[in-house]
Amino acid sequence: MADPAPPFGFHRDALGRACLGGAPLSELLAASGLETPAYVYDLDAIQDATSRLVSALGPGNLVAYAVKANSAGSVVRAVAEAGAGADLVSGGELQVALACGITPERIVMSGVAKSDAELDRAISLGLCAIQVESVEELPRVSARAAALGAVGRVSLRINPGVEIDSHAHIATGHDEAKFGILEQDLPAALEILRREASLSLVGVSTHVGSMLREPEPYLESARVVCQVALHCRASGHPLEFVDFGGGFGIDYGGEPADAPEVFARAALGLLAEWGLADLRLVVEPGRALVGPYGVLLTRAIQTKRSGGRHTLMIDAGMNDLIRPALYAAKHRVEPCDALPGALPFRVVGPVCESSDDFGEHPLGDAPSGLFVVRDAGAYGFTMASEYNGRALPGEISVRAGRVVKAAPSPGVAAWVTRRLEA
C-alpha cells in the first residue's frame, strides 16, 4: 500500500529528520514530556485511512475496526469519527469501544472462548452480532439470552479451510485452526438455530488471517461465506449481513500490499455476483488502518563490537514490540535526526532473550541518540508486556503536527508494587 503523501504518516523533511504527521519525531517527543520507549500515532492519517475505506464500502456497509490492533482511546475515537464501528474480542475492548462513542449496533464480538459475563454484556447491549466460533457456543449463547429474557443476535463465523501465505501464527482459516465453524458442522449449527427461540441468526462471517497482500485469498474465503449465506437464507434465516473479516496487509518495507479499498471493491463485486448485494457488508480491518501511521521511539543505550559484529542496544525491547520475536517480523529501525548510514548494525533490546532482536539495519559508523521503529501502529502497544520488570511504554497521539495526548508509561514503580502484592 502506498503511504499517503506527507504530512500523513511517516516521512523525512528537507533536513532529513524523521517526521510523523508533519512534525519531527524528536520535537514531538520533547513536546510530550515523555521518555522513550514511546509509541507515536498520527491520528489524522488513521482517520484518513478509515474514511477512505468507509467511502469505498459505501453507505449501509460497516467497517468494523479490529480494536485488538490498537486500542488507544484517541485512536479508537479517530476511527469512530471517520465512521467505523468495531470488531472486538473481550469485555475490556467492548468497554473501550463504547467509551469512544461506538454504538452497540456497530459492534461485532468475535472470540473462541467468550466468558459468560462477556456474553451477557453483549446480549444485553444488543450488539450487531456475537460471532459464534463453534457449534457448542450456540446453546451457551441461547441459555444466557433466555436467562436475560432477550434474543441473542448471532452470526456463524465460518472456517473456510483456506490456506494463506502468511506466518503460521497469523493464519486462522485453515481447518486445524481453533477458529470458526467448519462447513461440515453447519447442519448441526442450523439444527440448533432452528430449535432455539432465543437465538436469531443475523449474519455469516469469516476471517482467514492477517497480512494478505492481494484480494484473492480474501475472496476465496468470502465465496465460502456467500455459499453458506445462501444456504442459511434457503433454510429460512433472514440474514442481515455477511462479514468477510479483516487481514488487509501493509508494506513493512519489503513487499507492497494492495490498499484496503482494493479489497473493499473486490468484496462488493463478489456480493453482487452472488446475488447478495441486498445484504450489509462488514469488513474487520485492524492493521491496515493503524499500522503504517504509528512508530515506536527508542534511544540508543550503547554499542558493542565483538566477533566482527556491530550491535546497537536500544531501550525498547520485545516487551514493547513483540512482533519481530514472535513472527520474525521486520520493522525498519532508523535514526530520527540523521539519514540511515551504510554500516549495518544488529539492533537488540535489553530483554534477556535471544529473540529480543530487531534485525540488521544500516545505521552508520557510530549510531547514537533517538531511533524510530517504523510501522508499529498495529499490534505494538496492545501486545506489550512488563516482562523482565520493564514498564509498559508511553503513547503519544498527534494531530495536525501537534501532540494532543501523551499517556506516560505507568513506570517501573507500578510494576514493583504489583509484584509485591502477589
Catalytic residues: 352
Distance CA 231, CA 338 (A): 59
Closest CA to 69 of 384, 380, 394: 380
Q: Is 123 helix (H, G, I), strand (E, B) or coil?
A: helix
Per CB under 6 A, the list member of 66, 79, 141, 276 interacting with ligand LLP is 66
Interaction mask 120-159, ligand LLP, x per CB under 6 A: ----------------------------------------
Backbone angles phi, psi at 392, to 5 degrees: -65, 150
- What angle, rounded to 10 degrees, do the helices at 116-125 and 137-148 form? 60
Interaction mask 259-288, ligand LLP, x per CB under 6 A: -------------------------xxxxx
- Give burial (CB, 10 Å; 0-12/13-18/19+) of 417: exposed
User: How many amino acids of this chain bind ligand LLP (CB under 6 A)?
Assistant: 19
To ligand LLP, the closest distance from the beta carbon of 396 in angstroms equals: 21
To ligand LLP, the closest distance from the beta carbon of 338 in angstroms equals: 29
Residues found in the chain: 422
Residue (76 or 300) nearer to ligand LLP, CB:
76
Give me 37's grid cell. Answer: 520507549
Closest CA to 106 of 240, 201, 261, 215: 240
To ligand LLP, the closest distance from the beta carbon of 168 in angstroms equals: 12
To ligand LLP, the closest distance from the beta carbon of 150 in angstroms equals: 24
Using rule CB under 6 A, residue 374 touches ligand LLP? no
Residue (210 or 409) nearer to ligand LLP, CB:
210
Distance CA 394, CA 406 (A): 7
Distance CA 268, CA 270 (A): 5
Using rule CB under 6 A, residue 379 touches ligand LLP? yes
Distance CA 348, CA 37 (A): 14
Residue (87 or 137) nearer to ligand LLP, CB:
87
Q: Of the ranges 242-250, 338-346, 357-365, 411-419, which one interacts with ligand LLP (CB under 6 A)?
A: 242-250
Q: Is residue 194 a contact partner of residue 208, using CB atoms and an 8 Å limit?
A: no
To ligand LLP, the closest distance from the beta carbon of 222 in angstroms equals: 13
Interaction mask 160-189, ligand LLP, x per CB under 6 A: ----------x-------------------
Q: Name the strand (E) or helix (H) holding 296.
A: strand 294-306
Chain residues that interact with ligand LLP, rule: CB under 6 A = 66, 69, 87, 110, 170, 207, 210, 245-248, 284-288, 323, 327, 379
